[in-house]
Amino acid sequence: MLDLVLQQAKNNDERCLLQQQIQHIPASIAWKPPREGWIQIQTDGSVLPSLGVASAGGLIRDHLGRCLDAFVCNLGSFTITMAELKGAEIGLLRAWEKGFRRVELRLDSSTAISIIKNHKRH
């Protein structure tokens, strides 16, 4: 009997923990399309500090969500911010090479976004 009570208590604790974790999941994660006639580049960078390697990848989609291009590349030794910026650069270059001029860039790194917004042309 004691084993059954302990098992139920454990199950309740696990259930409560799971409910707490679920409550912390962001409620709204959805793709927002660009305006008609525009394309959207979504990129992301990642770093594996234990191996000292970084990578970046991205998608280029039209306003209907159709994938027009995709890429992934190993970058070598980069910081996470540099990997995010390199992914954005690669995505923009690929879009330009494909003839796209109406481009919306989406990043998830507030640091990279700030660097791009504050960049001054020389």
What separation, in Å, do the N-terminal and C-terminal C-alpha atoms of the chain show? Answer: 77
Both structure tokens of 114: 């700030």
Q: What is the pLDDT of residues 89-115, one digit of tens each?
A: 999 999 999 999 999 999 999 999 999
Please give the full DSSP string across 54-96, using - where no structure is assigned. EEEEEEEEETT--EEEEEEEEEES--HHHHHHHHHHHHHHHHH
Q: In whole angstroms, what is the distance from residue 60 CA to residue 43 CA?
A: 9
Q: What is the mean pLDDT of the chain?
A: 83
Over 50: is that where the pLDDT of 5 sits? no
Count Cβ atoms below 10 Å from residue 80 Cβ, excluding itself: 15
Q: What is the mean pLDDT of residues 25-42?
A: 83
Residue 47, strand partner residues:
54
Residue 48, strand partner residues:
53
Report the side by side order of strands in the sheet with 103-106. Answer: 67-76, 53-62, 39-48, 103-106
Domains of the chain, CATH where assigned: 39-118 (3.30.420.10)
pLDDT band at 122 (very low <50, low <70, confident <90, very high): low
39 in Cβ contact with 96 (< 8 Å): no
Is the pTM of the predicted complex or chain greater than 0.85?
A: no
